[in-house]
Amino acid sequence: MSLLSYETSQNMLDLLHVNSSRTENVALSASLGRVLAQDIVAEYNDPQFPTASMDGYAVMHSDLQNKEIAILGDNPAGSDEKRTIKSGECIKTFTGSKMPNGADTLIQIENVSVNNGKITIDETVPLGNAVRPVGEGYRAGDVLIKKGTKIGFVEIGVMAALNRVMVKVAIRPRVAVISTGSEILDLGVNSTNPSQIRSSNNYTLAALFEQAGAEAVQLGTIGDEREGIMETFQNALLSADILVSTGGVSVGDYDFVKDIVPRIGAEVVYKGVAIKPGKHIMVAQREDKFILALPGFAYSSTVTAILYVLPLIAKMLGRKSAYKTVAAKLGEKFTKRSKLTEFTACNVLVEDGEYFVNFRDKKVGSSAILTNMLDSSALMITGEDDGDLEQGTYVNVILLDNF
């Protein structure tokens, strides 16, 4: 079987036409985790006027050499202060208050003594002290949050400050997930013989896709029955944007998925990529829907879902990338196990601003060891032309904590 290179498969995936223009408006309070479908632009300066950043007295800086300065009154936060101070005068001004006209400095309360309606300067401050200038936070017209940003707590806080009641977000793509194989048992089903395998792929991938911003549709498990698998696929494509299956794509007598995909009218974009794990992966398209048939082993299906499904989800959400890749330095020697592009679970540490990779507690074995991805792991990439790598070599690493 002729295998595509990993780079070619990714380029072909990137060239697939994906509908990324579907949007909806949701309440700000319901937007956490959604992806912005428009830039958030400031309509006003922040602040719109010079503002006190501490409690103190608004003064002319040139008056701080005087022995005493008369207090005209108070200026609470939220009041529309209209008085103008003159030399020898000050106004008690609180955090967040508009600075009075004529004042260019705020001297904090702890730097003065108050007697008989006047302040005495105990410790002077520089010109402009504790005054937020106009536009310190942002200027009118600034793009504060870019389209394609996944909304977190900070984004919600900024939009609340802008009085955004409703937010335009990308509609979450629906991703149907199913595990195939007569040996697979779904959760809660009693085992009848020790050779049966407890299903985890469909739960792992559904959680991964939800974390990436999609709506996962859990289809559970189905045995190696050609007609049953075909009917399940056809039904799933009625409502799902992407159908992801695990198992049944290899070359065995009961690997039916690879035969079913063309029979339901889908065009195979490619089958077989020179990667480890997951070289039997299939990517297919039917109109504006996609089918990704992944291997059955837990680690293989998870890695290939990250590499091939997450980019499609990201494109549908209008995001520029599905994950972050960084350069890291090998902290120990690495033995490459094949001539394919390999994706190896590793640990990533940051020291003095630089990423380092090691394989502490990572087991070497088959593509079934999903536990290698526990403990904030990452995926180290080694290319087809790479051999064994010495300690200190720089490698590319996919971070798994920022979907």
59/256 Cα distance (integer angstroms) = 81
Taking Cα atoms as reference points, which of 280, 272, 276 lies closest to residue 381? 276
Are the CB atoms for 170 and 37 separated by under 8 Å? Answer: yes
What pairs with residue 169 in β-bridges? 24, 36
Task: Return the DSSP state at 326.
Answer: E
Instruction: Determine the average pLDDT of the residues in 257-268.
Output: 87
- Residue 102 CA: distances (Å) to CA of 43, 70, 108: 27, 14, 17
pTM of the model: 0.85
Are the CB atoms for 345 and 372 separated by under 8 Å? Answer: yes
Coil, strand or helix: which one is 217? Answer: strand
Taking Cα atoms as reference points, which of 162, 188, 36, 54 lies closest to residue 112? 54
Residue 380 has, within 13 A of its CA and on its CB side, a CA count of: 27
Query: pLDDT digit string (tens) for 188-208?
Result: 566 666 555 556 788 899 999
At 254 the pLDDT is 43
Query: pLDDT digit string (tens) for 214-251?
Result: 999 998 888 777 888 889 899 999 999 999 999 866 65
Average model confidence (pLDDT) for the chain?
91
Is the pLDDT higher at 44 or at 195? 44
At 253 the pLDDT is 43
Query: pLDDT digit string (tens) for 54-63?
Result: 999 999 999 9
Query: pLDDT digit string (tens) for 332-350?
Result: 999 998 999 999 999 999 9
Instruction: Determine the average pLDDT of the residues in 82-98.
Output: 97
By DSSP bridging, strand 112-115 and strand 23-27 are unpaired
How many other CB atoms are found less than 10 A from the CB of residue 79?
12
* pLDDT of 388 over the 60 cut: yes
* pLDDT of 10 over the 70 cut: yes
Which amino acid does the sequence have at 297?
Answer: F
